[in-house]
Chain A
Amino acid sequence: MATQQELSEIRQHSGVGFVETKLVTLFASPQYLKLSGGGELGPIQVAYETYGELTPAKDNAIYICHALTGDAHAAGYYADDDEKAKPGWWDDLIGPGKTLDTDKYFVICANVLGGCQGTTGPGSINPQTNQPYRLGFPVITVGDIIEVHSALTTHLGIDQLLAVIGGSLGGMQVLEWAARFPDQLRGAICLASAAQLSAQGIAFNAVGRRAIKTDPEYKSGEYEPGAGPRYGLALARMIAHITYLSDQSIEMKFGRRLQDHDSFSYDSLPEVEFEVESYLHYQGKRFVERFDANSYLYLTRAMDYFDLAEQYGSVVNALKKTDARFLIASYDSDWLFTTTQSKELVRALIECGKHVSFIELKSPFGHDSFLIEIEQLQKMITPFLEQAYQSCLLESVQKS
């Protein structure tokens, strides 16, 4: 076994090495963010991480949009991580020689507006009242999230991103970015996502929100920091987690195996009899430790509201202004964001004559595949980024 110090050294010298989450305050008075749903919000603190170096031409930046409950910590370890700590959530994809090659690209990932991992959200202190916003936090949309991402990009001195990449709610952000700031990106990589959340997706979100709000500890959102609707939030996560898996992956991982027993106990008291039950309870419990219930309500609602066609008249209208190259991928076992939904996007992009590539990837892991099947992503994203970067360099040579 490696000692703590040895482990720390290994971590420091592999992948992106030690990283830190930076904080920046944007939309300070009087430049408050004008929200899609009306009203203003500011100042907004943004938590973000960067990996790699920005070139002097500032042409190699890639922005990662995380999914519903993700955070800015996409790669590497913190220097003070204990030995059990896991690296950032997309660590296998980011680093020297990896797909998002930090020897070549400057990679940015920020916690979303409304989140609870450093960026201003319902759990943050409202400077006007010195109390947490809680339900006083305004309703936000994916559009508002992009306004903040875009402001961070500008703050970092970047006019145009080489690419924006994201899966699920992150993919929705990619699309919204292309619609809202069409000149700000050269490449758009949209994984396991869609131009709108399906009615089924809204239905599952509704059950999750109901679980939170009916927990007595929810107290109409006025729970104290550190307290809150633990059971409701855990239940919301358990339900959502099922939608991220597939019948095949659950079967593979757990089957009908029993937890701690060889045969049924015929006892109605213990809640955990099957392995899959134990797993879901564990997922719920772990989630409560890191996520704020109010944030969950706001972000799932932002996801429900997202609808490019509704917002811009049609998907074609939304995406026709950008010259970005698109790479769209779906997963055959994903039943939350289906291939049919990705194909609707592709059809719209073809209709408005965009550079678009599409693939339905094969994986048993359902919606979560984009976090698991790294090799598949590598094979398709690496050449896509190389080509996007080459065309960018070629253009700047032609201009000069």
Chain B
Amino acid sequence: MRAQRRYCMQDPSLEMTDRLLLEQIQHGSRVLDLGCGDGRLLARLREERSASVLGMEIDITQHHAAIGRGVPVIQADLDEGLQDIPDGAFDYVVLSQTLQQVLHPKQLLEEMVRVAKQALVVVPNFGNWRIRLQVLKQGRAPVTEVLPYEWYNTPNLHLMSMHDFQDLMRLLGIEILREIPIINHRAIEHAWLANLRAQHVLYDLRRQEEPAENPHHENVVQREHESPQFGTS
């Protein structure tokens, strides 16, 4: 198999990304997990962070597994957007290892900062030096460790580097609150030469404050007070 001879990008363990995501989320938040799988992360968030949670998942078996954990889950295709989620319904929206696989990543990112105050996104960094070297030496497209697909059947439709991602954020007016490179299964904030070394990156994103026309403090307080609780029952 040609795929095995090539460098395979390491996927960070689920345990590791889950923990990293968990650390970013404040106690008592409302969290939406896009592509929540069996609801593993959301169940932990509910228990360890007293979060009120909602998952979105396309696969029916995973969907039922999430119900089996008592995690509320909406069957939905991320390629169709988040039209069933009202504006600002969540504090955090999480998208882990999925952005490169959706048809319209730009639209999805815009949707994410619409429905939540902060978006946590874990993406692979195809700017990693081993991939660059491989492309240079072998002239072949990169594959990943856990999903050793060929170019014609890979679910990874969009390959981006950290620089590419940063450019898109500028274009969309999305502020990068934190950028945490993941290098050899370890999260290293402010890593040196991150775009060369990181296999993955966690981004904490927020829509840039538009200059408010008529800021009204009381209104803000009122909305905070009325903010709904998800799945606490």
Residues of A within 8 Å of B60, CB to CB, are 359
- Please tell me if A350 contacts chain B, counting CB pairs below 8 Å: yes
Known A357-B73, A358-B75, A359-B63: A350·B68 in contact at CB below 8 Å: no
Q: Is B176 an interface residue (CB 8 A)?
A: no
A83 in the interface, Cβ–Cβ < 8 Å? no
B185 to chain A, nearest CB (A): 33
* Complex contact A347–B72 (CB within 8 A): no
Complex interface residues of chain B between 60 and 102 (CB less than 8 A to chain A): 60, 63-64, 66-70, 72-75, 84-86, 89
Contacts of A352 in B (CB 8 A): 228
- CB of A360 within 8 A of CB of B75, answer yes
- Among A346, A356, A380, A387, point to the contact of B70 (Cβ < 8 A): A387
Please measure, in the bound complex, the distance between the C-alpha atom of A352 and the C-alpha atom of B66, giving whole angstroms: 21
Chain B min CB distance to A100 (Å) = 16
Flag whether A379 is at the interface (Cβ < 8 A): yes
| Cβ–Cβ contact A357 & B230, under 8 A | no
Q: Which A residues are CB-close (under 8 A) to B75?
A: 358-360
* A/B pair count, beta carbons within 8 Å: 69
A159 close to B (CB within 8 Å): no
Interface set, chain A 309-334, CB cutoff 8 A to B: 323-325, 327
A338-358 interface bits toward B, Cβ cutoff 8 Å, 1 = contact, 0 = none: 000001001100111111111
Bound-complex Cα distance A329 to B72 (A): 13
Residues of B within 8 A of A390 (CB): 70
B86 proximity list for chain A (CB < 8 A): 347, 350-351
Q: Is the CB of A353 within 8 A of B64?
A: no
- B54 in contact with A380 (CB, 8 Å): no
| Alpha-carbon separation in the docked complex, A386 to B70 (Å) | 9
A386 to B65, CA, bound (A): 12
Q: A97 in the interface, Cβ–Cβ < 8 Å?
A: no
**Complex contact A383–B54 (CB within 8 A):** no
Q: How far apart sit A355 and B74, CA to CA, in the bound complex (Å)?
A: 10
A347 CA / B81 CA spacing, docked (Å): 14
Decide if B229 is an interface residue (CB 8 Å cutoff).
yes
User: Whose C-beta in chain B lies nearest to the C-beta of A388?
Assistant: B70
- If the complex has contacts A346-B74, A359-B75, are A380 and B64 also in contact, measured as CB distance less than 8 A? yes
B231 at the interface (CB under 8 A from A): yes
CB contact under 8 A between A386 and B63, given known A347-B84, A356-B74, A358-B74:
no
- A391 beta carbon closer than 8 Å to chain B: yes
Extra contacts, 16 of them, besides A350-B74, A356-B54, A384-B67 (Cβ < 8 A), are A347-B84, A347-B85, A350-B89, A351-B228, A353-B228, A353-B229, A354-B230, A355-B72, A355-B232, A357-B63, A358-B73, A358-B74, A387-B68, A387-B69, A390-B70, A391-B233
- B residues with a Cβ closer than 8 A to A are 30, 52, 54, 60, 63-64, 66-70, 72-75, 84-86, 89, 227-233
Q: Could you name 29 residue pairs across A and B whose Cβ atoms are closer than 8 Å?
A: A325-B72, A325-B231, A343-B84, A347-B86, A350-B54, A350-B74, A350-B84, A350-B89, A351-B228, A353-B30, A353-B89, A353-B230, A354-B228, A355-B230, A355-B231, A355-B232, A358-B73, A358-B75, A359-B60, A360-B75, A379-B64, A380-B63, A380-B64, A380-B67, A383-B64, A383-B68, A384-B67, A387-B67, A387-B70
